[in-house]
Structure 1
């Protein structure tokens, strides 16, 4: 089904390029915005000003790193069933936690869904325990067990043209960035590196030499800072470095979490096939939480309209035979919080 993307009027041709072309491959050099300026035939100051405007308009969340799940600290998708008359109060309590980066109301008995990130599993447990204590609502915790496609990038050219990268292209791109799937895979980070990550999570300052400012905050020079980021990308700790856009504000307002209960022996193969589908923006296996939550295969589909998303979901489910298994579709209906994941924070490093 063709997609439609209604961008805000403020997004002119140059702004479109700034949003789309540097979601990946952001220049890792002393003056990255000068390099981008050359590509779009603008000057450095104009590009920096444009990114500041896009951030102020809510179209850009940050410019910086998307870290690989389970390679840094601990994280989990979690949900609770808030009484309808207390939903906003419960959501406010959840969003108050710095460790919560996404908090959505969804159409389900479990009506509040949020992502928790923390420096350690113990700290994550403390956060969830505090939410349960303060709200009186039991929380189901659904940690990631296997990732099939987690990138958090949106190709706006593909969206606007009514197409997405095909299955073969998607699989090829994933194969080039395949990562070990065990929690904490890779080398141990030094305390200095962890301090740098804690600062980097918030994104780069939108100024001429952002890496110099980033490094200075934790005692590194500019060259060291850039080299660490390059190394983390090569190791797979950083999945993507660039512009992180906000999909709601860019017109992708229909957001469905599609879930299935797949036999354990079959879920990995089906998950890899599902992740290659053009409509799928995220795809992963999560631990069940029985008896309340039997589903273990998740994918996200984003679109401009509900019927568009449902049509795409129905088509991929038909093609893969997914609806032979128990399933559900949970549309988001309200966004209470959306920020970058905060795995580490200076005040929380003691928990690691």
Structure 2
């Protein structure tokens, strides 16, 4: 694994991106697996976070279950990229924001407790920037695991069965929002996130286990920054296929080596025709293009118009907004 000669660091960042222990002292459970101490595990995670190599130990959620989200883009003039990126980043619900190689160059994910909150955020960005905002809501996922193998393993994790939203309780929103910010790197982190919510540790653990089993929490574990760890050639590849063709091509694309995300989104008529989206992460542009070439040569995708939007800068990468917070005027 790039930059990590220490086997404990390698295992900590690669093996615990999901299935993180939901127990009274989770870092002690990790220490037992890794053959070290609880204090050492916490110190290593703090060091990796301080170095910008991980964003947090926390959760990702299945889209549009406990919260709403959409992918969006603006076409910022060259001289205004930094200014417009700052406007986008000031929205608390924007959790990912990247500069990509396209006329539509600033791409971001807007999240919030409901669709109205997301729509209001997009409207504020449009008003403050003076630019049109493409709103590209999710239609269906094919691979949304969001884990990332630092060893370069390429096996796909296909979309699981639909989440069971019937298990949701009012208390869950605060718990999940805390997990989006990240577990405190302390001895009893579940107790620490429960205290401000008026919940004891056992109640927090019980609800997290329910949400994981119901697939509302899609992943609980170490959230890495792949660019900081050497995977710097990353492209969002968009494919122009009709809905029925996406039904066939989506699962095939999701299973391709190097494809880490794959989903269908709604197009924007007359502006943005692309329905099928995939992410490719690689160490070099040549490697990314080789993986794209192999995917494009599949019979289900052969001849389909597509664009590779390589990312050149990350402006923001945080957890999603699940509970409402103060928003800019």
TM range (shorter): over 0.9
Number of aligned positions between the proteins: 327
Distance (whole Å) between structure 2 residues aligned to residue 237 and residue 192 of structure 1? 14
- 1:164 paired residue number: 154
Shift of 1:17: 1.1
Residue from 74, 77, 83 that aligns with 2:71: 77
Judging changes above 3 Å, is the alpha-carbon distance between structure 1 residues 144 and 303 closer, same or farther for their aligned structure 2 residues?
same
Residue from 149, 163, 167 that aligns with 1:155: 149
1:219 aligns with 2:198: yes
- 2:87 paired residue number: 93
Residue from 119, 128, 150 that aligns with 2:113: 119
How do residues 242-321 of structure 1 correspond to structure 2 at under 5 angstroms? 242-321=221-300
- 1:324 paired residue number: 303
Q: Secondary structure at the match of 1:267?
A: helix
1:25 aligns with 2:19: yes
Residue from 106, 110, 114 that aligns with 2:104: 110
Distance (whole Å) between structure 2 residues aligned to residue 35 and residue 82 of structure 1? 47
Q: Which aligned segments of 4 or more residues in structure 1 are displaced greater than 6 angstroms?
A: none
- 1:178 paired residue number: 161
Shift of 1:188: 6.5
- 1:8 paired residue number: 3
Provide, for residues 296-335 of structure 1, a one-character-per-residue CA deviation record: whole Å limited to 9, x for no partner. 0000000010010001100111023414122111111111
Runs of at least 5 residues in structure 2 that lack an aligned partner in the other structure? none
- 1:209 paired residue number: 188
Shift of 1:122: 1.1
* TM-score, L = length of structure 1: 0.89
Q: Secondary structure at the match of 1:201?
A: helix
Is 1:119–1:343's contact at 8 Å kept on the other side of the alignment? Answer: yes
Residue from 32, 43, 46 that aligns with 2:40: 46
Is 1:198–1:346's contact at 8 Å kept on the other side of the alignment? Answer: no
Shift of 1:121: 1.1
Distance (whole Å) between structure 2 residues aligned to residue 203 and residue 345 of structure 1? 17
Distance (whole Å) between structure 1 residues aligned to residue 33 and residue 178 of structure 2? 28
Shift of 1:190: 3.1
Runs of at least 5 residues in structure 1 that lack an aligned partner in the other structure? none
After superposition, the CA RMSD in angstroms is: 1.6
- 1:232 paired residue number: 211
Is 2:73–2:107's contact at 8 Å kept on the other side of the alignment? Answer: yes
Distance (whole Å) between structure 2 residues aligned to residue 319 and residue 266 of structure 1? 13
Is 1:198–1:345's contact at 8 Å kept on the other side of the alignment? Answer: no
